Structure 1
Amino acid sequence: MSNGSFISATIPYVNARPHLGHALEYVQADCFARFQRLQGRDVFFLTGSDENSLKNVIAAEAEGISTRELVDRNVAYFQDLIEQLKLSKDDFIRTSVDQRHIEGATRVWELIAANGDIYKRSYEGLYCVGCEQFYSPAELVDGNCPEHLVPPELVSEENYFFRLSRYQNQLLDAFKSGELRVVPKSRYNEVVSFVESGLMDISISRSTERARGWGIPVPGDPSQVIYVWIDALTNYITALGWAAGDDLYKRYWEEADSRTHVLGKGVTRFHSVYWPAMLMSAGLPLPTETVVHGYITANGRKLSKSLGNAVDPVGVIDKYGIDAVRYALLADLSPFEDGDFNEERLVQRYTTDLANGLGNLVSRVASMIGRYRDGTIPQAAGELEEQDERLARQVAESVEGVVTAMSRYDHREALSHVGDLIRASNSYVDSNAPWHLAKAAAAGDETASARMDTVFLYLTGAIRQLGLLLLPFLPTSAEEILKVVGEESHRLAEPSAWLDGLPGRAIERPEPIFPRLDVVA
């Protein structure tokens, strides 16, 4: 029996409501977790909220409310989005209120300090509050933060530092040996180049005064709080009860087959360099891979609360429905590069691929079996034809294609293979024309009747495979598809078993699974 698997989405700042970029990452991580479960793996899927941020403090001050009030209110917006997106999360951790996190983050600091990797010194640098990050002058774009396009502020204070420079060679060894993968290859190359260029020690605390007293205190020094990123990164193990020696930590981190972080490109360095180095210092296992996605853009610019072009994901879901939104994010956008979100494109893909393609297929097959075979899936009869073998090959090719694509975390390619099976199945319906076979069978043609039985069995087999393959991507509608063919299993079977157990099952005639969108994009 395999050990557990760990998958996380990043924990976002909660200084404002979530935007569509958060929805992209949530849905990506969810489909990866669901697909592994479909393969029979034991998966723990984590997300949460990053609450100990100066951004949250400043946002609260601007509203004239307490930081606690702002954080509690905004966390609820993120939790609501998670429910709307139908995420299969196992836990949601809050870094300002969950004692397991506060104790765990403190304990990680103490382990790093005990290893001689923390020291204190004065520091001056250019700090972007939006990124919660110091930048060197060379990293700025026309003097501005490359993410938020505003000038960083000059900050001078005495902080604690982490000896990141000590872990340069160990990090390179982990990358080049494959112990720690960075996906895609372009991000791996960026990370390796950054580490090879020479690592400098990093500041890991802020003065309590500048933090306005908000954050986790540095052990033994209440004049400082743990820098938000150092605090936040520990959530991946504190949520598993690491500090308390919980069995969850042992199963889903220490002994896990895989430990995967899904994250946006703007935080690659934190997750692929700083976090693994911290774990090395603390003597804890590294993640096995970091999977880096691009940004959702509008006219080529990142969607951002700070830039004022954020798109409300709940509003988009209310307008188009969850299937259309999840499909647009997973089938239309690159898993790794930036991509523009377009409502007209969302409607077009939903209508063509789902309503007209898959929904029409399921409806036609269920209706014909109900009409011509009293709602029961028949057994194949007569000689098989080349088109039957062709559909069987497409089933096998689509399953293999989806499995291979998802092993590379490429959800868009995976759904293209699902689309191949939808098109092949519809073509199979049209080329066999069961309505003509039914007419011939009614006139006493036993060959036509036997042929119709084979066609219906093969089509229900294809529909079952489509429902299973779509469970990670469109879980609600995939469940409805599986109900039509009486399928209760949520395990991806071998393609050779694609027809097993179907003959004799009752077909359920559904309401439209993908109803037409009555909106104008």
Structure 2
Amino acid sequence: MRYYVTTDPHASAIELVYADVLARHYRLMGARVRFLGGGSPALRPMLSLSYNVFNDSDASTPWYTAGMSPSDYQRWWVSSDARVHVIGESSPQPQLLHSSDTICVCPDLALPEVESWLRKYGSDAVRWWLLRSRVDGQLVPMANKDLHNSLGTFVDRVTGLVHRYRNGEPPPGGNWPSARVAPALARFDFVAATDAVQQLVQDASAYLTQSRPWELADPDEVLANLLAACRVLANDLIPFLPDLATRIAEQCFALSGSLAPARAVYPRLKK
């Protein structure tokens, strides 16, 4: 499968994040993806975007095809299996070539302070807020509640237990199901998709509490399943919070026979 993901030339932060989530998700599904978007050049690295090409120019042909070689135009635009256009509510509708073309409409959200938020709080908190709520004043409380208290605490507890009971050596085996994000992203429901990730954390945290591995004579099976949950979480988070996903993976995969020294994957934010 080949996917082409585009945004408006003057895309806002929320449009860029929506498009990036979709591009990363399609790549995880095994598709070849070309993600071409606009937006402020300063926002691109700050939002941790996985773009291929950006183009700020306006053109008489669809702007996202301007400047492409004839072979690339044929391969990525005309012959793509699917084209997804991420636009704001007030943006003009893009040209649709085939029935497989879809449009993901974002709320119109002017956030002149988003760059200062990114510098102060990081991409994880800002991306999570854009995907989940966008309620004024909730960026830091939401990040602390969801990413520090819930997700971060769970991962930190699991890796801490592996260090405590196995000197950092991961137990063999382990299994945990992935979050069901695909159905939600297929209908561009980013809240439901992130709900699925949160449900994974809640289920795994409940399993940790109920199994009480610190009271077991042999906690290896439970620890293996918990560590598998952390690894699945790292993978499932890639489309939404790629930086946090990387930090979780660094804590949960043993590259030299044992886990890396334990450290908090998401420290509490201060306003």
Q: TM-score, normalised by structure 2?
A: 0.92
Aligned to 2:112: 311
Structure 1 regions of 5+ residues with no counterpart?
A: 13-20, 50-77, 97-104, 106-230, 280-284, 297-302, 304-309, 334-340, 381-387, 438-447, 489-503
Runs of 4+ aligned residues of structure 1 deviating over 3 Å after TM superposition are none
Write the distance in 2 (CA, Å) between the matches of 1:35 and 1:331: 17
Aligned ranges for residues 173-184 of structure 1 at < 5 Å?
none
Q: Write the distance in 1 (CA, Å) between the matches of 2:72 and 2:252.
A: 37
Q: Percent identity?
A: 31
Matching residue's letter, 2:107: G
Aligned to 2:122: 321
How far the C-alpha of 1:287 sits from its partner, in A, is 6.8
Alpha-carbon shift at residue 32 of structure 1 (Å)? 0.6
Structure 2: stretches of 5+ with no match in the other structure: none
Identify which of 5, 8, 23 aligns with 2:6.
Answer: 8
Matches within 5 A, 1:442-521: 448-449=217-218, 452-486=219-253, 506-519=258-271
Higher relative contact order (CA 8 A, sep 6+): 2
Return closer, same or farther for 1:22/1:433 CA change in 2, 3 Å cut-off. Answer: same
The partner residue of 1:409 within 179, 185, 188 is: 188
* Aligned-partner Cα distance in 2 for 1:417–1:402: 6
- Give the number of equivalent residue pairs: 271
Q: Which residue of 2 aligns with 1:248?
A: 72
Once residues 48 and 419 of structure 1 are traced to their aligned partners in structure 2, the CA distance between those partners, rounded to angstroms, is: 30
Write the distance in 2 (CA, Å) between the matches of 1:259 and 1:406. 14
TM-superposition CA deviations, 1:381-435 (whole Å, max 9, x none): xxxxxxx9xxx6xx53x53x21111111111101101101101111111112222
What is the TM-score normalised by the length of structure 1?
Answer: 0.49
CA deviations on 1:169-205 (whole Å, 9 max, x unpaired) are: xxxxxxxxxxxxxxxxxxxxxxxxxxxxxxxxxxxxx
One-letter amino acid of the counterpart of residue 479, structure 1: T
1:361 is matched with which residue? Answer: 154
- Are 1:37 and 2:35 matched, yes or no? no
CA contact (8 A) 2:169 2:254 kept: no
SS at match of 2:104: strand
In structure 2, the residue matched to 1:434 is: 213
- For residue 168 of structure 2, what is the aligned residue in structure 1? 375
**For residues 15-35 of structure 1, what are the alpha-carbon distances to aligned partners after superposition, in whole Å with 9 as ceiling and x for unaligned?**
xxxxxx811111111011011
Aligned equivalents of 2:108, 2:185: Cα separation in 1: 20
Counterpart of 1:289 in structure 2 is 102
Distance in structure 2 (CA, Å) of the matches to 1:421 and 1:266:
35
1:513 shift after superposition: 1.4
* Residue equivalent to 1:85: 47
Distance change (3 Å), C-alpha of 1:356 and 1:259: same
Aligned counterpart, 1:213? none
Q: What is the CA–CA distance in structure 2 between the aligned matches of 1:423 and 1:329, rounded to whole Å?
A: 21
**In 1: Cα distance, 2:81 partner to 2:254 partner:** 29
Aligned twin of 1:237: 65
- Describe the shift of the 1:372–1:31 C-alpha distance in structure 2 as closer, same or farther (beyond 3 A): same
Asked which structure has the greater CA Rg, the reply is 1
State the distance in 1 between where 2:108 and 2:151 align.
29
Superposed, 1:15-30 pairs within 5 Å as 22-30=12-20
CA drift at 1:286: 7.4
The Cα shift of 1:253 comes to: 1.0
Deviation digits for residues 329-355 of structure 1 (CA, Å, limit 9, x no counterpart): 11225xxxxxxx312x22222111110
CA pair 416-458 structure 1, distance change in 2 beyond 3 A: same
Partner amino acid, structure 2, of 1:342: D
Partner Cα distance (1:517, 1:32) in 2:
27
Secondary structure of the 1:238 match is coil
User: What are the Cα deviations for residues 195-229 of structure 1, in whole angstroms up to 9, with x where unaligned?
Assistant: xxxxxxxxxxxxxxxxxxxxxxxxxxxxxxxxxxx
CA contact under 8 A between 2:6 and 2:19: conserved in structure 1?
yes
Residue type at the aligned position of 1:475: P
Q: In structure 2, the residue corresponding to 1:43 is in which secondary structure?
A: strand
